[in-house]
Amino acid sequence: MANVKEETARGIKWGLIQKLTMQPLQFLYGIILARLISPDEMGILGLTAIFFALAGQLQECGFGTALIRKQNRTHEDICTVFWFNVGMSFVLSFILFLSAPLFAAFFNQPALVNLTRVSALLMFLNSTTSVHMTLYQARRDFKTPALVSMCTTLVAMPFTIWAAFSGWSYWAPMLQGIITGVLTLITIWVISPWKPKCCFSTASFREFFRFGLNLAISGIITQFYLEARTFIIGKFYSPAQLAYFTRGQHTCSSPLQLATSILTPITLPVLATLQHDQERLAQVFRQFVRLMSMVIEWGMITLAANSAAIIVLLYGENWETAAEYARILCFGWMLNPLTLLNTNFFAVQGRSDLHMKIAVILRPISIIVMILCAFHSVGALCFSAIFAAGISFSATCYLVTRISSIRIRDLAADFFPYLVMALVANIPSFFIDKLDWLPICRLALGLSTSILIYGCILLVKRDRAAAYLLAYAKEKIARKRS
């Protein structure tokens, strides 16, 4: 298991370097924009994400996952995926560009015309580097994408902040997307060892299409479900309510993305290398479940417990409503990374059809529940996320046990103890967040209390995941000393 350890550790190291460098700057960036751009204006910008997330699923069609899974990929395979992505992106961007006036009219927001058209051009621009990034991930080279992302973001941020100070309103965040997209395109095409050629294999296309179609269908349904909340709030509630929801969602998803962006891109290529050794695959998969559960469940429940202090401290008292939404979403979304890990397991086993079946059967139920909740309030709409996450996680866990030697009680033993420990560790924090203290004082006391209790529980319990990390750290230190 040495290679798995090394590859996982290398990926986590560069993921941490990237995130620990960028996360403080991203937080500062978000604070500045929240104080310079009104909730109404931020809400208008949030509407542009609805159709582009769906278009992104159509553009990729699961081909990237298929490319990572195939260990003996050829240059012809890669070129086929590249030209398919670029072609689909061009068609979708063209359609969205032309339909921008209809989009703006539906939401009664004239500003969406130009915002939508610029976003359409950005989507096409980003498609020209997606395969290059996929290849880095497939080769388990996590260093290069991390460095490119850090450098391009650091260049773009000052221009974005200047634009916000200059009164560019919702065009300031859009400027960051433009600068980042252009710089990434130039950098990747210069440094990447792979360059596309004018070739397209129908045999490769059919192979990837058969595998990727199931992922594409499930991805479209899932993305539609995720963006439906924004669609409903944008249509039937005020832009300010959409902004509060978006800010709460962003606060909730930021640490989640920190963990998943480090761990998830690592799990698929690492598990793919073990697809022909089922016993070892099961062992490594369960180790990933324990590691992710230990980190993500505590992190999300801690965020929920301290959400009011965090949002008021970062964005000001006029954003306090967003804390209510963030607290609810934390409990639902903490299951999503583990659900994604389960679907990666399906992909490694060549069972992308299971991913599609879950989406086709369960997502319509979740959408119905979400619509019924939407008639009540935005808060009720957030509660529907807990229901959806719970049934998706349960279903994927059951299917993992059906296609492997892993038992349902094994997964329960890997997951539920961390949920209980995280809840116990944060009981004081929920009460501390209600106190009439300064936000910084509430956050400091709540966070330190949670860390102390959780650390003590892991130590007393002699937790396997924590012991694994400590043993690996000691091993690395010993190697360096020798």
Tell whether 164 and 244 lie within a shared domain. no
Range with lowest mean pLDDT among 20-24, 100-104, 226-230, 368-372:
20-24
C-beta separation of 321 from 441 below 8 A: no
* Most confident segment among 1-5, 17-21, 164-168, 310-314: 310-314
Same domain? For 182 and 244 the reply is: no
Judged against a pLDDT cut of 60, whether residue 281 lies above it is answered with yes
Q: Convert the pLDDT of each residue in 134-188 to its tens digit.
A: 888 777 777 788 788 888 888 888 888 888 888 787 788 888 888 988 998 899 8
- Statement to judge: residues 264 and 296 lie in one domain: yes
Please check whether residue 167 is in contact with residue 45, taking contact to mean a CB–CB distance below 8 angstroms: no
Greater pLDDT, 432 or 33: 432
Judge whether residue 400 has pLDDT over 90. Answer: yes
Statement to judge: residues 263 and 194 lie in one domain: no
Give me the pLDDT at residue 294, please. 92
Do 270 and 363 reside in the same domain of the chain? yes
Which of 236, 268, 286 marks a domain boundary?
236
The DSSP H or E segment spanning 50 is: helix 49-60
d(CA 59, CA 92): 8
Q: Are 294 and 189 in a shared domain?
A: no
Distances (CA, A) of 425 to 313, 421, 445, 453: 23, 6, 13, 5
At 68, the pLDDT band (50, 70, 90 cuts) reads: confident
Q: Which of the listed residues 236, 256, 290 is the one where a domain comes to its end?
A: 236
Question: ∠ at Cα 61 (59, 64), nearest 5°?
Answer: 100
In the block, which residue shows the tokens 């902040």?
161
CA dihedral sign of residues 303, 265, 367, 98: positive
Which of 58, 69, 479 has its CA nearest to residue 273?
Answer: 69
pLDDT computed for residue 260 by the predictor: 67
Q: How confident is the model at residue 2 (pLDDT cuts 50, 70, 90)?
A: very low
Comparing 31 with 240, the larger pLDDT belongs to: 240
**Gap between the Cα atoms of 342 and 348, Å rounded:** 10
pLDDT at site 399? 94
Q: What percent of the chain has pLDDT over 90?
A: 21
Is residue 226 domain-shared with residue 296, that is, in the same domain? no
- Same-domain status, 129 and 272: no
State which of 216, 236, 256 marks the end of a domain.
236
Q: Which among 318, 19, 6, 264 has a CA at the least distance from the CA of 150?
A: 19
Whether pLDDT at 28 is above 60 = yes
Do residues 6 and 111 share a domain? no
pLDDT higher than 70, residue 21: no
**Out of 104-118, 207-221, 255-269, which region has the weakest mean confidence (pLDDT)?**
255-269
Distance, in Å, from the CA atom of 93 to the CA atom of 106, rounded to the nearest integer, reads 19
Q: Which residue has the higher pLDDT, 210 or 385?
A: 385
> Do 137 and 232 lie in a common domain?
yes
- pLDDT value of position 424: 96
- Work out the mean pLDDT of the chain and round it to a whole number: 82
Q: What share of the chain is helix, strand, coil (3-state, %, to 5)?
A: 85, 0, 15
Q: Which of 9-13, 137-141, 442-446, 476-480 has the lowest mean pLDDT?
A: 9-13
**Comparing 299 with 211, which gets the higher pLDDT?**
299
The Cα 370–Cα 381 span in angstroms is 6
Same domain, 255 and 112: no
Give Rg (Cα) of the chain: 22
Residue 398 pLDDT: 94
Rounded Cα gap, residues 437 and 306, in angstroms: 13
Tally of domains within the chain: 2
Closest CA to 421 of 468, 467, 455, 454: 454
Model confidence at 1, pLDDT cuts 50, 70, 90, reads very low
Closest Cα partner for 331 from 376, 297, 380, 370?
Answer: 297
Of 93, 89, 97, the residue nearest 130 (C-alpha): 89
Residue 237 has pLDDT above 80, yes or no: yes
Identify which has the larger pLDDT, 146 or 87: 87
Q: How many helices (H) and strands (E) does the chain have?
A: 20, 0
* Angle value at C-alpha 310, between 306 and 312, nearest 5 degrees: 125
Q: Which whole-number Å values give the CA distances from 362 to 213, 351, 400, in the listed order?
A: 18, 17, 16
With 60 as the cut, is the pLDDT of residue 8 above it? no
- Mind giving me the DSSP string for 143-168? HHHHHHHHHHHHHHHHHHHHHHHTT-
Per-residue confidence (pLDDT) for residue 19, from 0 to 100: 60
Q: Which domain holds residue 321?
A: 1-36+238-482
pLDDT at 121: 86
Dihedral in degrees, nearest 10, Cα atoms 311, 315, 317, 318:
-110
Residues 55 and 4 in one domain: no
